[in-house]
Amino acid sequence: MTSLISILLLGGSLVTSFSMIGIVRLPDMYSRLHAATKGATLGVIMLMLGTFFYFWYVKGEIDSQILLAAVFILITAPVSGHMLSRSAFHADVEPYKLTVLNELRRDETGTDVEDDVED
């Protein structure tokens, strides 16, 4: 059980660290938002599960608030990331110049990718 706790805590720390690096290094708002929501959500949930198992195994206490917080983050973080990306799209925030496919533009305007490419 101690190894599971260690794996969850170290894994959560690594995933959150990679998410922070992605926020700094990725080129546009959409990529950074992806790194922030996906990486940080997984990292924080791993940290919370490691904390939950620590208190359960070492202290002998079951803290339901940690599990409730993990479920709340699991539900709200992807939804907020989705809403932020759609808001940025509708505010005409341009994706990175090497973006090949913009499915939301295709779905909302009916234009194909070939229509946007200039020869």
**So what's the pLDDT on residue 106?**
64
**What is the spatial distance between Cα 48 and Cα 70, in angstroms, rounded to a whole number?**
6
Domain definitions of the chain by residue range = 2-94
Q: Across residues 47-69, what is the average pLDDT?
A: 92
Q: How confident is the model at residue 10 (pLDDT cuts 50, 70, 90)?
A: very high
Distance CA 22, CA 47 (A): 19
CA distance linking residue 89 with residue 93, whole number of Å: 6
Output the pLDDT for position 11. Answer: 95
Residues 6+ apart with CB under 8 A from 53: 1, 4, 5, 8
pLDDT in tens, 61-113: 888 999 999 999 999 998 999 899 888 888 887 878 876 666 766 666 666 55
Q: What pLDDT is recorded for position 119?
A: 44
The residue whose two tokens read 């708002």 is 29
- pTM score, two decimals? 0.75
The mean pLDDT value for 9-29 works out to 92
What pLDDT is attached to residue 1?
A: 87
pLDDT at 44: 93
* Residues 19 and 35 sit within 8 Å (Cβ to Cβ): yes
State the SS3 of 54-87: HHHHHHCCCCHHHHHHHHHHHHHHHHHHHHHHHH
Tens of pLDDT, residue by residue over 23-37, are 999 988 888 888 889
